[in-house]
Structure 1
Amino acid sequence: MNKILVTGAGGPAGINVIKLLKKEYYIVSTDINPYSEGFAISNKYYLISPASNEEQFIKDIEKIIEEEKIDLVIPTVDEEIEVLAKNNISFSEKIVIHPREIVEICLNKCNIYLYLKDKIPEIIPEFSLDPKDLNSEKVVKKPIKGRGSRNIYIGNKNEFKKEDGFFFVEYLPGREWTVDAIADKNSNIIIAVPRIRLKVREGISMVGEVKLDKKILEYVKEISEYLKFRGAFNVQFKEDINGNPKLQEINLRFSGGLDITAAAGANLPKILVKYWLYEEIPNGIEIKEGIYAKVPEVYKLK
């Protein structure tokens, strides 16, 4: 049985990956919190240093890979992905990670817009470091680096001022989309599954409608032609008043709502593992469109 190391066992993405792999693989998980929920459903788990302590974090990961004879590492935490991408570490061939230059662009949410605004201008919303520059009266204040809905504020542009670490985007009133996707080692998309975020709790989809929208899928394909992804990623859009999708952010990991995509017929972590270890790409995956709801389960931790 292959051994898979999943980082971020306390976050929604990490928990999803563990749940979707644990029936077929031996799961070793890590987190900085001893009460991480994913530990309860892992075969073995380790407490590790935070990514902010780069040197010790790398030593922890290298030691676990060596001692546990890990076959594949799936990181699910942005800060850890950043550290793993920019450092030359032992066993790097076992880690599913995007190219460093792609990580540097995508972990800075303002840089994504700057990089793509002349390449795919129709999907880029109005944005600026200074809210006074925006034509939109209603704006969204966003952290340049951040996860989920943390530190995001909506209001009139006159309520805000330019602030270090933040940028501003026009307010978009329409539907929110997340596209869960995997790119192969040559940056070709293996699978992409869009869903509408119908009910969101703390940035995570609780109810979603899986819908294979051609326009959304075409935009994801176009984005991937410029950003050479390698592994799991998700792209988020929100529609403007006319129903046109505008890019919100790109996350270089599995999403917190990944289990909705799995319920519709696409177990993306399993697809990723089979491809990365054995070059196997599934044929004829049937995606069942429809509305899906997440219902939490309870597990004994100790």
Structure 2
Amino acid sequence: MNVLVFPCGSEIGLEIHAALRHAKDIRLHGVSSVPDHGEFVYARYRHIGADARSPALIDELNALIDEWAIDLVLPAHDSVIPVLAMASRLHCAAAVPGPDIAATCRDKRLTYVRLAHLGIVPATIDGLADGYPIFAKPAVGQGSQGAERVDDSDRHRYLLENARDYLFSEYLPGAEYTVDCISDATGTLLDAAPRTRERVKSGISVRTAPAAATPGVGAMAKAIAAELALKGAWFFQVRMDRHGVPKLLEVAPRIAGSMALSRMRGINYPLLHVYAHLGKPFSVLAQGHAVVMDRALCNRYRTSLSYARVYLDLDDTLVIDGAVNPLLMALLYQWHARGTAVVLLTRHAGQPLECLARHRICPDLFERIVHLQDRSPKSAAIGGDRDAIFIDDSYRERRDVHMACGIPVFDLDAVEQLLELRA
């Protein structure tokens, strides 16, 4: 099954990749309209010129859908969902709700009007308020971007006169939660998992942990599911009012980047989202163990390196302080899968094979083992092999090899650039 993710470099697109990269029945394709991290993550990646505001978007997506034989398009940004929902000429299915629900969820004012009869939305304010503080947020937006507490009439008046369309509502002083939900192909809610928003950056929850389920939040999830009949993965955000009653902030019919937390507890939202929109039956098995997720910037690399053989040191490189270096072990299996030869080049004081056996390292991962038992330089063992790289913790050894052999050399802090994580 070929799945296209657009825009693939968003936090949502990156979580989709992390969740689906090992799915045996899914082949991922990434597309973005701006240069982003997606090209470092998706092995099958394409840049297009049209974004969600462009009338050419559907035509450009259709060209890729035809080229790649795409079965399903996964939106990875809120602004893309209404566009795909209204695109009657898209050449394949898209994992989005119908146009009416997509438009309702994209605009918080429409969301509140649609769900007001459920008694879960905060009181909204037209014109200047009778008292402050109140809360302001863009009617169309994502996360908490542009949202603020308004403490006086001067600021309120300024926002009212601002060109951006704000929604004003009662101020909710309590804790805020995101509730990850999964529904089947009929829109039946199967699970709702609240989580904290302990640290937020640019509207994204970068530290989150499971929160205890409460009857009020659980009832809210069931009410929203019954009203909107959303399929697959979706979420809503709530904040407690001064009486401890949860009030709705927004509903989003999509995967959330921080759904990775629930993925660690047994529910792969992106995978089940695909199944739901393809009409496949599934069940969920949520785990109950405690886990905290904290997110930070990570590095991916694109290099010009090309090599057919790796010369690798043993002591303080492959084995450090009596333990195997897990990154280098991952690389050993990557090189084995790709047919890249690895030579273990070591001055180990004992028998290298005994050391490998002690650490459960299979000697078959190496083309050969060169055991230097004299003071000869490692460069002499490499000789004229120019289609190679050298990895060693010793600067003296690296300098000798680089000067004598002219090949790239790496300390342990630089080998992460060699790991291929794209899928």
What TM-score comes out, normalization by structure 1 length?
0.90
| Aligned-pair CA distance for 1:191 | 3.1
Is the 8 Å Cα contact of residues 178 and 237 (structure 1) preserved in structure 2? yes
The match for 2:197 is 197
Q: Aligned partners of 1:41, 1:166: CA distance in 2, in Å?
A: 36
Q: Aligned partners of 2:88, 2:172: CA distance in 1, in Å?
A: 40
The match for 1:155 is 150
Q: Aligned partners of 2:272, 2:83: CA distance in 1, in Å?
A: 25
CA RMSD of aligned residues (A): 2.0
Greater C-alpha radius of gyration: 2
> Secondary structure, in 3 states, of the residue corresponding to 1:160?
helix
Specify every segment of 5 or more residues in structure 2 that has no aligned partner in the other structure, as ranges: 304-423
| Aligned-pair CA distance for 1:277 | 4.1
Q: Does 1:80 align with 2:111?
A: no
The match for 2:118 is 120
| Aligned-pair CA distance for 1:243 | 1.7
Q: Aligned partners of 2:130, 2:39: CA distance in 1, in Å?
A: 48
Q: Aligned partners of 1:217, 1:287: CA distance in 2, in Å?
A: 17
Describe the superposition over 1:91-112 as per-residue Cα deviations: whole angstroms up to 9, x where unpaired.
Answer: 34x2111011111211111111
> Secondary structure, in 3 states, of the residue corresponding to 1:78?
coil
Aligned residues: 294
| Aligned-pair CA distance for 1:269 | 0.8
1:113–1:261 CA distance, 2 compared to 1 (3 A): same
Partner AA of 1:95 in structure 2: A
Q: Aligned partners of 1:125, 1:290: CA distance in 2, in Å?
A: 31
Identical-residue share of aligned pairs (%): 26
Tell me which moved more, 211-220 or 271-280.
271-280
Q: Aligned partners of 2:281, 2:118: CA distance in 1, in Å?
A: 32
The match for 2:298 is 297
| Aligned-pair CA distance for 1:71 | 2.2
| Aligned-pair CA distance for 1:289 | 4.1
Q: Which has the higher contact order (CA 8 A, sep 6+)?
A: 1
The match for 2:240 is 239
Q: Aligned partners of 1:248, 1:136: CA distance in 2, in Å?
A: 20
Q: Aligned partners of 2:39, 2:110: CA distance in 1, in Å?
A: 35
Tell me which moved more, 188-197 or 168-177.
188-197
Q: Aligned partners of 2:173, 2:8: CA distance in 1, in Å?
A: 33
Q: Does 1:266 align with 2:264?
A: no
Is the 8 Å Cα contact of residues 141 and 152 (structure 1) preserved in structure 2? yes
Partner AA of 1:31 in structure 2: S
Partner AA of 1:142 in structure 2: K
Partner AA of 2:59 in structure 1: K
Partner AA of 1:225 in structure 2: A
The match for 1:11 is 10
Is the 8 Å Cα contact of residues 28 and 42 (structure 1) preserved in structure 2? yes
Describe the superposition over 1:3-52 as per-residue Cα deviations: whole angstroms up to 9, x where unpaired.
Answer: 21111222111111111111223211111112x11221212112221111
Q: Does 1:68 align with 2:63?
A: no
Is the 8 Å Cα contact of residues 52 and 83 (structure 2) preserved in structure 1? yes
| Aligned-pair CA distance for 1:136 | 4.7
1:129–1:64 CA distance, 2 compared to 1 (3 A): farther
Is the 8 Å Cα contact of residues 238 and 248 (structure 2) preserved in structure 1? yes
Describe the superposition over 1:226-282 as per-residue Cα deviations: whole angstroms up to 9, x where unpaired.
Answer: 112133321000111222111001112111312122123221112223444471313
Partner AA of 1:288 in structure 2: H
1:279–1:53 CA distance, 2 compared to 1 (3 A): same
The equivalences for 1:135-150 within 5 A come to: 135-150=130-145
Is the 8 Å Cα contact of residues 95 and 274 (structure 2) preserved in structure 1? no
Specify every segment of 5 or more residues in structure 1 that has no aligned partner in the other structure, as ranges: none
What TM-score comes out, normalization by structure 2 length?
0.65
Partner AA of 1:83 in structure 2: V
| Aligned-pair CA distance for 1:142 | 1.0
> Secondary structure, in 3 states, of the residue corresponding to 2:209?
strand
Q: Aligned partners of 2:190, 2:61: CA distance in 1, in Å?
A: 28
